[in-house]
């Protein structure tokens, strides 16, 4: 075909009568046709490759309807597996419930995918396949056929011209004339076939060029179909997510360790976190006279087992009554693994500032104010813990755990800085302040928390406690703890002054650097000077 059109452009084609084609008349159209011709093979190749890759993206059987395709999709197999698993586990298993709900959701997604793939085949893959495997190959065949017709025409034309030249000198003029006429008829017929084929091919090429925009739209339709599929799939998922979230929220058996305090209390409808209350109940029964409680490390496997038991809210805790150090270790771990310390990040600077006040009475007053600023849930659990620690310190003659010792081992688990850094850096900047804060609060627990004086006086054993077990009086360990005797302070500061609205009349001073305390001359500036003197000697405290 290209050779034919080049011949036309060069003016080398004639009809056998010496009348040549006018190249200027067809030059513009022929150039367009040649450009289209050059694109044909490339369009066929890229369309074929695109079709092949699209088919590879399909997960169903090509050519099947929606239902048959749905049955063969991997998502359908996943859905069925999840539904079978949920049925096997039953409704008493939360995993089983979630598998059933999510399995139904996956089945809906599989149905959406099967519809999407059928649409892709109908609207995109079949037209692309028609273009690459039928339409363009037909044009290429037609071009080859035209080339054959041109060769046939050239052959008969050459024989006609040769016969015409030989006719005047031929011996048998009549026979030669008949031959020339026959060749002329053959040449005219070949030319006619060639012209018809050439016109048909040109028309088909023009038609292909006019539809190129339509062919290009197949790729746009692909994106639009994918967008619509993903919208439907997203809507299908979003329709089931609220139900899943609701079931998750209702399921109370979730880990307590590492969960925010507010979330854990809300989920379990408790005021005191389960690990705190359970551990304290067990320690009150069997651990109050255990030497080195909170200081002596428990066995790692036993501690891990107790934490796991508390996480799943089991009542089978009998074995841990006989290992107070594991119980104390679990309580320490719970406090340390809270996403936010029990004494809160928000009040960290206030705690440190209060601990920097040099005057003992004013320091206590400032700590009382900060403690009163704790969120309700944090304050309730902190009060519960401090009351227990104060009770534990009363047994320090036996358990060797004075308020100071308790503060040293538990303080870093109750308050730490939000800033990131190594454990050594954090310990260097906060441990001294935190230990002094916790020690003061333990020593003055009844002043910081005057309510609930009899918090542990009539403790009901946990459902898991041994039936007739008596607390063990004699310590099981000795010689490993500081034997410094604890003595109560010789003063009892009064409560902070209260205004008509029920609030303390003093405020904390602006935040101080956490690296050191106030100078002696600055102590009076931390709090107003209007409150009463705090240090009062009493015979009971001596």
Domain ranges across the chain? 1-13+20-251, 261-448
- Say which residue the tokens 């005021």 belong to: 271
First to last CA, the chain: 120
pLDDT, tens digit, 9 for 90 and up, residues 135-175 = 889 888 888 888 899 999 999 899 888 888 877 776 677 78
Please, which pLDDT band fits residue 488 given cuts at 50, 70 and 90?
A: very low
CA dist 305 → 95, 136, 292, 309 (Å): 22, 72, 21, 6
Scanning 58-135, the segments in alpha helix (DSSP H) are 66-72, 74-89, 94-120, 126-130
For residue 139, give both structure tokens: 């044009």
Greater confidence (124 vs 423) lies with 124
Please, which pLDDT band fits residue 18 given cuts at 50, 70 and 90?
A: very low
Greater confidence (111 vs 429) lies with 111
- Element (H or E) spanning 242, and its range? helix 212-250
Burial class of 33 by CB neighbour count within 10 A (0 to 12, 13 to 18, 19+): buried
- Is domain 261-448 classified as CATH 1.10.555.10? yes
358/474 Cα distance (integer angstroms): 40
Of 30, 22, 26, 25, nearest in space to 2 by CA: 30
User: Would you say the C-alpha torsion 111, 113, 116, 118 has a positive or negative sign?
Assistant: negative
- Mean pLDDT highest for which of 400-409, 421-430, 467-476, 519-528? 400-409
206/483 Cα distance (integer angstroms): 104
Q: DSSP letter for 462, please.
A: P
pLDDT above 70 (res 125): yes
429/352 Cα distance (integer angstroms): 10
Q: What is the mean pLDDT of residues 44-59?
A: 90
Ramachandran angles phi, psi of 332, nearest 5°: -60, -45
CA dist 259 → 112, 255, 281, 417 (Å): 37, 7, 21, 19
Ramachandran angles phi, psi of 29, nearest 5°: -65, -40
Q: Any idea how long the chain is?
A: 542
Phi-psi region of 27 (alpha: psi -120 to 50; beta: other; left: phi over 0): alpha
- Say which residue the tokens 């009493």 belong to: 538
Cβ–Cβ under 8 Å, residues 390 and 446? yes
Of 253, 330, 201, 308, nearest in space to 97 by CA: 253
Q: What is the mean pLDDT of residues 26-37?
A: 66
247/398 Cα distance (integer angstroms): 49
The pLDDT of residue 485 is: 38
Of 152, 143, 78, nearest in space to 109 by CA: 78
62-71, 268-277, 436-445: least confident range: 62-71
Same fold, 1-13+20-251 and 261-448: no
302/317 Cα distance (integer angstroms): 12
367/504 Cα distance (integer angstroms): 12
Percentage of residues of the chain with pLDDT beyond 90 = 38
The pLDDT of residue 410 is: 93
53/378 Cα distance (integer angstroms): 59
The pLDDT of residue 110 is: 92
The pLDDT of residue 369 is: 94
Greater confidence (541 vs 165) lies with 165
Cβ–Cβ under 8 Å, residues 388 and 456? yes
Name the average pLDDT for the chain.
77
* 257 three-state secondary structure: coil
Q: What is the mean pLDDT of residues 278-293?
A: 91
Percentage of residues of the chain with pLDDT beyond 70 = 74
313/90 Cα distance (integer angstroms): 20
pLDDT, tens digit, 9 for 90 and up, residues 73-117 = 899 999 999 999 999 998 778 888 889 889 999 999 999 999 999
pTM for the model: 0.53
279/287 Cα distance (integer angstroms): 10
Of 331, 332, 322, 326, nearest in space to 476 by CA: 322
CATH topology (fold) of 1-13+20-251: Substrate Binding Domain Of Dnak; Chain:A; Domain 2 (1.20.1270)
Q: What is the mean pLDDT of residues 267-295?
A: 91
């Amino acid at each position: 075909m290209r050779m034919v059109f080049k011949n036309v452009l060069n003016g080398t084609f004639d009809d056998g009568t010496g009348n040549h084609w006018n190249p200027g008349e067809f030059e513009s159209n022929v150039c367009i046709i040649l450009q289209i011709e050059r694109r044909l093979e490339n369009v066929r190749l890229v369309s074929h490759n695109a079709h092949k890759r699209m088919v590879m993206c399909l997960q169903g059987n090509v050519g099947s309807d929606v239902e048959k395709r749905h049955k063969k999709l991997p998502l359908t197999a996943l859905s069925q597996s999840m539904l079978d698993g949920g049925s096997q586990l039953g409704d008493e298993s939360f995993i089983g419930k979630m598998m059933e709900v999510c399995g139904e959701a996956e089945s809906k997604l599989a149905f959406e995918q099967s519809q999407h793939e059928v649409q892709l085949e109908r609207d995109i893959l079949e037209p692309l396949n028609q273009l690459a495997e039928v339409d363009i190959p037909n044009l290429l065949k037609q071009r080859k056929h035209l080339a054959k017709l041109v060769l046939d025409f050239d052959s008969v034309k050459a024989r006609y011209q040769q016969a015409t030249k030989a006719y005047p000198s031929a011996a048998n003029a009549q026979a030669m004339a008949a031959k020339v006429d026959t060749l002329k008829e053959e040449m005219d017929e070949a030319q006619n076939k060639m012209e018809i084929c050439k016109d048909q091919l040109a028309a088909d090429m023009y038609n292909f060029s006019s539809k190129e925009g339509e062919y290009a739209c197949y790729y746009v339709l692909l994106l639009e179909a994918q967008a619509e599929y993903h919208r439907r799939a997203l809507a299908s998922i979003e329709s089931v997510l609220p139900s899943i979230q609701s079931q998750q929220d209702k399921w109370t058996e979730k880990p307590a360790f590492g969960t925010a305090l507010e979330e854990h209390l809300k989920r379990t409808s408790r005021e005191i976190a389960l690990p705190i209350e359970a551990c304290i109940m067990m320690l009150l029964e069997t651990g109050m006279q255990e030497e080195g409680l909170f200081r002596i490390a428990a066995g790692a496997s036993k501690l891990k087992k107790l934490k796991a038991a508390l996480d799943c809210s089991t009542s089978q805790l009998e074995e841990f009554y006989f290992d107070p150090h594991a119980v104390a270790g679990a309580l320490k771990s719970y406090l340390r693994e809270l996403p936010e310390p029990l004494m809160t990040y928000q009040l960290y600077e206030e705690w440190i500032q209060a601990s920097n006040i040099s005057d003992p009475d004013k320091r206590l007053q400032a700590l009382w104010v900060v403690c009163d600023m704790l969120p309700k849930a944090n304050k309730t659990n902190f009060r519960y813990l401090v009351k227990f620690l104060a009770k534990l310190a009363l047994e320090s003659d036996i358990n060797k755990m004075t308020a100071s010792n308790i503060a040293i081992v538990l303080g870093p688990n109750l308050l730490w800085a939000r800033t990131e850094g190594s454990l050594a850096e954090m310990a260097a900047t906060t441990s001294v302040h935190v230990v002094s804060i916790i020690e003061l609060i333990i020593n003055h627990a009844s002043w910081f928390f005057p309510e609930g004086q009899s918090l542990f006086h009539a403790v009901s054993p946990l459902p898991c406690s041994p039936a007739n077990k008596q607390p063990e009086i004699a310590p099981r360990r000795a010689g490993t703890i500081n034997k410094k005797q604890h003595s109560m302070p010789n003063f009892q500061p009064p409560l902070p002054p209260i205004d008509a609205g029920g609030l303390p009349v003093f405020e904390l001073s602006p935040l101080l650097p956490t690296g050191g305390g106030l100078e002696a001359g600055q102590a009076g500036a931390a709090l107003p000077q209007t409150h009463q003197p705090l240090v009062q000697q009493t015979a009971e405290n001596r």
